[in-house]
Amino acid sequence: MSKKIIIYSVFIIAFLTLLSISVFAQEVDQLLETTSDEAEVLAEELEVEEPGIFSWFWNTIRDVQILVTRDPIKKSELQLKKASRQLIKARKMISENPDDVNLKDKLERISEKYQSLISRINDRVETFEQENPDAPKLKSFLDKYTNQQFRHQEILRRLEEKVPAEVAEQIRANRERYLEKFGEVMNRLQTKTEFKERISELLKEGKEGIERRIRRMEIVDKLEQGAGAIIREGIREIKQERKEIFQELKVKRQEINEAYQQIRQRTSGIIEEEQGIENEQGDINQEREGILERIRERIREFRGVDENEASESGNETNINESGVCIQVITLAKNSRTEECREFSTPCSVPAGWETVAECD
């Protein structure tokens, strides 16, 4: 009866655990939807491909496109993609071997290529107004350029968290240098109103997640430090306008942290329940093995009795009326091994041996 109760209890606990895991999974999905911005910036967001076996091919194609393109805006867009790919390459390198002893040198080479491409873009876009290109086309590029620069900053910030301190310091210094140069260029290319519109679009609710919006606000703060007068004035106005938004984001971040804590506690409870089920299952298995072992022991005992009885019944004819076994040399052969030998009395012939007239 007790075994049935234990088994039923295990099934009930297992069912409740599965139900809890299902509810837990739904909560995790909801939380991930809220905080999906904390995921890595995808290569698709930068309009480039992940590094792979055909990387050399795409690099060659892009280099040819840059070489033959005469449109300065189109050429800058292609170089922006090429610069973005350098960061994706650095991220893949760090994810595969963050403790590489040569990581700092490798990242420095990537940084030089990236900086070279961005510098060429900056030098070119500063001449856009002088060459008077199509205004909507220029605006579209500056929107993309601003968006991509913020995504580059996000990638570099995440890379800092995955490398040794010395390499992280190198990435941080490069990141601040890139941001400072970006601020200088944008200060010359746009009005305060245009800057505010672009940054507001990056911080717009619904377009990006909570954490990413907060991170971008932090980038805006850093941008203010090295920016020109136009950018600084625009940032001050953005700060005044974003106070309520920032407070709202802080509340949502607190809610997310509390949800994480609840999920962590619930996860611990589920793990403890699963451990209890495993322990109870182990006890049941141990008890079952004990029962099986006792059954095996009884079977061995019964077999021993049967063999003894067979031996005794086979030797009854060799016992005289006084109960003494007849003393006569007896030849017997083992029916299994074919071994044949002498025994001092017929009663000494063990079970499984047959008496014979002579041994071969």
The pLDDT of residue 13:
56
Residue type, 301: E
Higher pLDDT, 297 or 151: 151
Q: Quick one: what percent of the chain has pLDDT higher than 90? A: 11
Q: Is the pLDDT of residue 208 over 80?
A: no
Closest CA to 114 of 182, 39, 192: 182
Question: So where are the chain's domains?
Answer: 2-32+270-278, 36-241, 316-355
The pLDDT of residue 346:
81
Q: Is the pLDDT of residue 152 over 90?
A: yes
Neighbours of 277 (CB within 10 A): 16
Higher pLDDT, 11 or 114: 114
Give the range among 231-245, 312-326, 344-358 with minimum mean pLDDT: 312-326
Q: Quick one: what percent of the chain has pLDDT higher than 70? A: 70
Q: What's the CA gap between 316 and 320, in Å, rounded?
A: 9
Residue carrying structure tokens 């040794």: 164
Distance of CA 210 to the CA centre of its chain: 22
Residue carrying structure tokens 């944008």: 186
Q: E strands, the chain, where? A: 330-334, 340-343, 353-355
Q: Is the pLDDT of residue 32 over 50?
A: no
Q: Is the pLDDT of residue 256 over 90?
A: no
The pLDDT of residue 35:
45
The pLDDT of residue 316:
46
Burial class (CB in 10 A: 0-12, 13-18, 19+), 8: exposed
**Entry field: residues in the chain:** 360
Q: pTM of the full predicted structure?
A: 0.58
Q: Is the pLDDT of residue 121 over 50?
A: yes
